[in-house]
Amino acid sequence: MHEIGHKSGHFIMSISSMEPLFPESPELKEKAQGMVRKTENLGRHIHARTAQAIADILRTVNCYYSNLIEGHETHPIEIERAMRKEYSVGSKERNLQLEARAHIEVQLEIEKRISSEPDTNVCSEDFLRWIHNEFYSRLPEEFWIVRNPRTGQTEKVIPGELRHHEVSVGRHIPPPHTELKEYLARIGDAYNPARFMDRSEAFVALSATHHRVLWVHPFGDGNGRVTRLMTDAYLMCIRAGGHGLWTASRGFAKRRNDYISFLEEADSPRRDNYDGRGSLSNKALTLFCRFFLEICEDQIDYMSKLLEVDELAERVLKYGKFRESGSLPGASGNIGKGFDFRPEATKLLHTLVYRGSVHRSKIPDLLGLEERTSRRVVNFLTDDGFISSKTPKSPLELRVPAHAGPYFFPGLYEPRA
């Protein structure tokens, strides 16, 4: 960090202390180009409605792993229950469910806003504050109180407001609170996704944005979560292929220690005359950006294998056979043995993987059952979270409930034992 003056008890930092904003490394663009090609193929052979069902469960997965990075573990099944307002009795577990619900609601609000305002600058101060406000205003007020490790005092986080005190994050001392607007204006201008017509350049810019927003540390609390939500928004803005069918947060959580280590290293000042021309280390920023892109590529590759439609359908069949027998690996309790999960239920799920939806009037012939019996199968699968419809007369559409996620997509997260 480069201090250039002193005023009112605060060190004043030059805006140049955040340079370089972009890593000087041509190999990163080459890596990003390969990623862009992979994202364009992601899920291309899957029915649009099936892809939407997968995107819905991945929204829960994104929330789960983002929370896990913060040290808050709320299993996707508990998150799904929170979305139905089925909360745990214990206050700690309930609060974590409320936190997860808030996260998913904000993801949905972001998707809605960018769909209607595709030119939104998601790196701007206004947008970052909007994310923070949307998230924290949904949390219990006890989540607003944080301890300042620098002073030992508690501080109140106001939803949507920039921090009004100085902080330290490990060895890093972010800019003074009085200078935050200047730094955020620079970030908003430099990293605005509208500036990048080339998606590979946009991916590299996003990797640098992710670090520099955290380096500025604009809020008293919630900076990591806001930055990861901004990252999702950025991907939507640049129209990255396969949007919603993969999540970077899963990769960051799987390599949490590395994620934190690379972030901290990128806070480092310029090391020598061969380390770029800015105040901060170009080498360290390049390493973080490479790590960021590797995480994204790893998650894209992981989901690409799982989104082969024939293999997905085969896993659904295998799951159905387990449910029919009443013996599901890794599960406990009542899993619907007997009439409820009969072979016709498996057949309907298998069909929905390929077709995405099926009209209600077609179900009896499809399953080879009388209308009354087919209705019982449909009602069971509806209650168990596998199918939904927009209205009582609309076609049935596929869903992936949280309890089935690890079986449909092995390794996505652990089954609930």
User: Residue 325 belongs to a domain with what CATH number?
Assistant: 1.10.10.10
Please answer whether residues 303 and 42 qualify as being in contact, where contact means their C-beta atoms are separated by less than 8 angstroms.
Answer: yes
Q: Indicate whether 12 belongs to any domain.
A: yes
Which residue, among 406, 413, 394, 407, has the nearest Cα to 49 in the 3D structure? Answer: 394
Query: Considering Cα of 197, then 200, then 206, then 208, what sign does the dihedral take?
Result: negative
End-of-domain residue from the set 306, 325, 355? 306
Please answer whether residues 230 and 188 qualify as being in contact, where contact means their C-beta atoms are separated by less than 8 angstroms.
Answer: no
Give 211: exposed, middle or buried? Use CB within 10 Å, 0-12, 13-18, 19+.
buried
Q: Indicate whether 416 belongs to any domain.
A: no
Other beta carbons within 10 Å of 379: 12
Q: Indicate whether 68 belongs to any domain.
A: yes
Same domain, 326 and 403: yes
Same domain, 284 and 360: no
Same domain, 289 and 318: no
| Per-10-residue mean pLDDT, the chain, length 417 | 33 78 94 94 92 96 97 96 95 94 98 96 98 96 79 85 91 94 97 96 98 97 97 95 94 97 95 90 97 97 96 96 85 53 95 96 96 94 94 94 96 88
End-of-domain residue from the set 246, 276, 306? 306
Q: Is 249 left (phi over 0), alpha (psi -120 to 50) or beta?
A: alpha
- As a whole number of angstroms, the distance between CA 164 and CA 353 comes to 51
Q: Indicate whether 280 belongs to any domain.
A: yes
Distances from the Cα of 355 to the Cα of 50, 315, 352, 393, angstroms: 8, 16, 5, 18
Please answer whether residues 99 and 74 qualify as being in contact, where contact means their C-beta atoms are separated by less than 8 angstroms.
Answer: yes
Same domain, 280 and 314: no
At residue 208, the pLDDT reads 98
Same domain, 175 and 87: yes
Please answer whether residues 128 and 224 qualify as being in contact, where contact means their C-beta atoms are separated by less than 8 angstroms.
Answer: no
Give 313: exposed, middle or buried? Use CB within 10 Å, 0-12, 13-18, 19+.
middle
Same domain, 89 and 168: yes
Q: CA 131: distance to chain centroid? A: 14
At residue 5, the pLDDT reads 31
Q: Indicate whether 413 belongs to any domain.
A: no
End-of-domain residue from the set 271, 306, 341? 306
Q: Indicate whether 414 belongs to any domain.
A: no
At residue 1, the pLDDT reads 29
CATH number of the domain bearing residue 195: 1.10.3290.10
The residue with tokens 């099926």 is: 358
Same domain, 250 and 377: no
Q: What is the largest CA-CA distance in the chain?
A: 82
Q: Indicate whether 78 belongs to any domain.
A: yes
Same domain, 190 and 262: yes
Domain enclosing residue 237, as ranges: 3-306
Structural domain total, the chain: 2
Q: Which residues pair with 146 in a beta bridge?
A: 155
Same domain, 176 and 238: yes
- As a whole number of angstroms, the distance between CA 61 and CA 241 comes to 19
At residue 255, the pLDDT reads 97
Same domain, 282 and 313: no
Q: CA 28: distance to chain centroid? A: 23
Q: Which two tokens stand for residue 160?
A: 């949507």
Same domain, 205 and 141: yes
Same domain, 109 and 236: yes
- As a whole number of angstroms, the distance between CA 219 and CA 133 comes to 11
Please answer whether residues 134 and 106 qualify as being in contact, where contact means their C-beta atoms are separated by less than 8 angstroms.
Answer: yes
Q: Indicate whether 415 belongs to any domain.
A: no
